[in-house]
Structure 1
Amino acid sequence: MMKKPLLVCSALALSISSVITPLTATAALPHTVNNQQLPSLAPMLEQVTPAVVSIAVEGKQVSTQRLPDSFRFFFGPDFPSEQVQERPFRGLGSGVIVDADKGYIVTNHHVIGGADKIIVQLHDGREITAELIGSDEMSDIALLKLSEIENLTEITLADSDKLRVGDFAVAIGNPFGLGQTVTSGIISALGRSGLNIENFENFIQTDAAINSGNSGGALVNLNGELVGINTAILGPNGGNVGIGFAIPVNMVKNLTEQILEYGEVKRGVLGVQGGELTSELAEAFGYETNHGAFINQVMPDSAAEKAGLKAGDIIVSVNGKQIRTFGELRAKIATLGAGKKATLGIVRDGKDQSVTVTLQEATLSKVKADNLHPGLAGAEFANTTADDGVKGVKVTSLTDNSMAARYGLQKDDIILGVNRKAIKNLGELRKALDKNPNVLALEVKRGSNILYLIIR
């Protein structure tokens, strides 16, 4: 399923890009041909491939088109300024079973974004309906739950912080809808960012061939452990140029744990501004290499200020793991989650130091409602807490004459419930709307009053 053209096409597959020399890993067991032992990935793959699934989605794309002002001149000022259109779509992708007992599957947000129906095809041919537990567009991760959980195989998670450039990697997915395909490559680089693929980027780069349909598939090591979720490629026409990207599994684990606990990702915030560490900056501040994140400003009353960070500090590690770029720092901090403690290794005045910081929560995470429900198109939502301490979803902005406005929503309204079910955050609202109810009865707090708005 395609995501953003530009130079980036989000849909993956990997193919054999080099001849693999004899391997010492336990997964590459020898295979005898003409009395000679050759390495083979088959024994490992026989254990792993049942954990990788194909995903087919159906849904409706909601778009708004601004009408000419002359329409309002002829039909009156109450005539809508925008026209809402719905177009059906279908898409294919891949996913990975990470918990067989509960039927949890990890995939990309862009694979299932806007889907009304999600069908998962298992390795043995079974087709099972899945529901969306939650997703995070900014990191392109989604968590699904299968409606049936019998005879499932889950994949073991590796520690992606232990990856090294040159490690062999194997990708499994559903390129071009052909069915499950296994291909191989190596890890070309780590901590890639600044690609404008996602908002939070800390990619594993591989040199393997990438093709459409493998988004959400597994990138595994030679022991059959998951090291990343394939998410994007770099290519002029969506084809292979030998540069593909995967989201590290440690980042995926942090995000899915937050989705399960809160219904959404509670993003951590450090409260610093900065940039990449150049060789000139490193020399000026007494640091021998240019790996790290340079801080040029610490925000007042932020987690960073409370921990004692200062402008001019160079952050070189998070929880003992090396930081290469400011983009990598941003992604790791954001996905650790609000309220989590992190130990930062820093260089100050040429000396190594360590500080412990408690991450704050992002104060405002806005979501456009156009893809949540057609009747809410034109509204923008964010988590909030009312003056009386009640949590809900606030309407932060509203387009005039939009569908949401015509149904009676107003700016600063706080949604407290949907169809008699309490809503405390965007994750819970999204989950309620993913069931695609025919009628929405919104419990809304407007000032000191509580009212219901009916949206069809």
Structure 2
Amino acid sequence: MKTKISLLSAAILTASLALTPVVSQAALPHSVNGQSVPSLAPMLEKTTPAVVSVAVSGTQVSKQQVPEMFRYFFGPNAPQEQVQERPFRGLGSGVIIDAKKGYIVTNNHVINGADDIEVGLSDGREVKAKLIGADAESDIALLKIDAKNLTAIKQTDTDAIRVGDFAVAIGNPFGLGQTVTSGIVSALGRSGLGIEMLENFIQTDAAINSGNSGGALVNLNGELIGINTAIVAPTGGNVGIGFAIPANMVNNLVQQIIEHGEVRRGVLGVSGRDLDNELAKAFGLDSQHGAFVNEVVADSAADAAGIKAGDVIVAVNGKSIKSFQELRAKVGTMGAGAKVSFQLIRDGDKETVKATLGESDHVEKASGEVHPMLEGATLQDTDDGIKIIEVTSGSPAARSGLAKGDIITGINRKNIKDLKTLKSVLKGSEGAVALKIKRGKTALYLVLR
């Protein structure tokens, strides 16, 4: 049977039902009729007000090529594509992280392409939300609402959590209303799932389902340990394998969005692979986990720190890592300029080096950070120009006419070679701008207004 990994935001066609929160298992002592019984209720009474529902609406735009025979009948001016617009609604969850400023964290896939975002608070209030920024590679988005008497969730150091720790998931599955389930931390550092570009998931068996995206995974103290994001769903429903983005990773990204309005991703400058048993034997290593460095980019942060090809990086800031994907996720969610220590094995000896992460202008970026009408496209620097490697259906980028595989080579009459230049030129532009696009063997202009 083919394994199906599913993101958790729910598309809805009918209004959600308001139900009493459901609590699954018991763990904490609580007094009932003078007797002590285990219960999560005291913790949840303080924590659940910090978890909200997120309702979105927008318009999906789909394009289909008009068959050649029909274009022939309608003459040389006949359209090559048929454009259809279809309204959509969706539902997910979010977590209040700053009560005074009204900041709410959710998943990027919950709000991606939405024209309107509305947050439902636990006390019944419904408030319009503004998107502050998002990062498609890690699937994190930051919203802001203007409301009083909010409750923020408590924070903790998620590098300290262990497999076997109790975990409680809070969210709004299937539009039913706030629901609470419990379980344990099943695994740490899960990656290679193909869900996101940067993966370093907490795995849990706490029951989470469609609509839980952006909700909270907390410990028994009610402290946030992760943002629920995806499940393995071979049958389409919960089977006890869910994934959450670690709170430390979320905090790194959120602080960058708050400070810069975007994620300024840190770059180490290495390529490599997971350290497996075969590779460990070949290099005479006792360790079975870590990131094997194949290559170090010249003049990069890794090069300046003295990291060499053949090194095995086994820990970041004193916390062990299992794979190259985990190294990539940890570094990629730290901001440019961050000072990081790396523990590595070289020729059988353990060493520690310190690096100051660089900022890359050659990595993929969520293009809404570049221009509002590019929102929904993902851009990447190439030798030929800026390539569109993905366009979300219904997004402003799709409505602008951009398509996967397009290469941006200029703006108005100015040649553009990289994302940094593109962003700089667009920032200083006023009114409509014309993007020069290379599409296959054809050159064309698309106007952004």
TM-score category (smaller protein): 0.7 to 0.9
Write out per-residue CA displacement over residues 336-379 of structure 1, whole angstroms, 9 at most, x where no aligned residue. 12222211100001111011112222323456879999976998
**More deviation, 256-265/298-307:** 298-307
Match of 1:54 in 2: 53
Does residue 1:441 correspond to 2:440, yes or no?
no
The residue type paired with residue 359 of structure 1 is L
Cα distance, 1:302 vs structure 2: 2.4
Q: Give the Cα–Cα distance (whole angstroms) in 2 for the partners of residues 380 and 160 of structure 1.
A: 29
Match of 2:355 in 1: 357
Match of 2:43 in 1: 44
Does residue 1:412 correspond to 2:409, yes or no?
yes
Cα distance, 1:261 vs structure 2: 1.8
CA contact (8 A) 1:120 1:127 kept: yes
Alpha-carbon distance change, 86 to 331 in structure 1, aligned in 2, over 3 angstroms: same
Match of 1:29 in 2: 29
The residue type paired with residue 118 of structure 1 is I
Q: Give the Cα–Cα distance (whole angstroms) in 2 for the partners of residues 368 and 286 of structure 1.
A: 42
Write out per-residue CA displacement over residues 234-291 of structure 1, whole angstroms, 9 at most, x where no aligned residue. 0113311110000000000011111112222112222212111112322333432212
The residue type paired with residue 29 of structure 1 is P
Among 246, 260, 263, the residue aligned to 2:261: 263
CA contact (8 A) 1:233 1:244 kept: yes
Q: Give the Cα–Cα distance (whole angstroms) in 2 for the partners of residues 398 and 346 of structure 1.
A: 34
CA contact (8 A) 1:315 1:345 kept: yes
SS at match of 2:250: helix
| Aligned-residue identity in percent | 59
Q: Give the Cα–Cα distance (whole angstroms) in 2 for the partners of residues 225 and 398 of structure 1.
A: 37
SS at match of 2:431: strand
Aligned residues: 410
Does residue 1:132 correspond to 2:131, yes or no?
yes
Cα distance, 1:193 vs structure 2: 0.2
Paired residues for 1:258-337 under 5 Å = 258-337=256-335
Among 2, 5, 14, the residue aligned to 1:8: 5
CA contact (8 A) 1:62 1:374 kept: no
Unmatched tracts of structure 1, length 5 or more: 385-393, 416-422, 431-439, 447-452
SS at match of 1:413: strand
CA contact (8 A) 2:337 2:357 kept: yes
Alpha-carbon distance change, 428 to 219 in structure 1, aligned in 2, over 3 angstroms: farther
CA contact (8 A) 1:258 1:264 kept: yes
Does residue 1:91 correspond to 2:81, yes or no?
no
Alpha-carbon distance change, 152 to 88 in structure 1, aligned in 2, over 3 angstroms: same
Q: TM-score, normalised by structure 2?
A: 0.81
Unmatched tracts of structure 2, length 5 or more: 11-20, 391-397, 413-419, 437-445
Alpha-carbon distance change, 427 to 316 in structure 1, aligned in 2, over 3 angstroms: farther
Q: Give the Cα–Cα distance (whole angstroms) in 1 for the partners of residues 9 and 190 of structure 2.
A: 17
CA contact (8 A) 1:263 1:428 kept: no
Alpha-carbon distance change, 366 to 143 in structure 1, aligned in 2, over 3 angstroms: same
**More deviation, 88-97/334-343:** 334-343
Q: Give the Cα–Cα distance (whole angstroms) in 2 for the partners of residues 379 and 156 of structure 1.
A: 34
Match of 1:212 in 2: 210
Write out per-residue CA displacement over residues 278-335 of structure 1, whole angstroms, 9 at most, x where no aligned residue. 1232233343221211112222332222221111100011111111111110100100
Q: TM-score, normalised by structure 1?
A: 0.80
CA contact (8 A) 1:16 1:208 kept: no
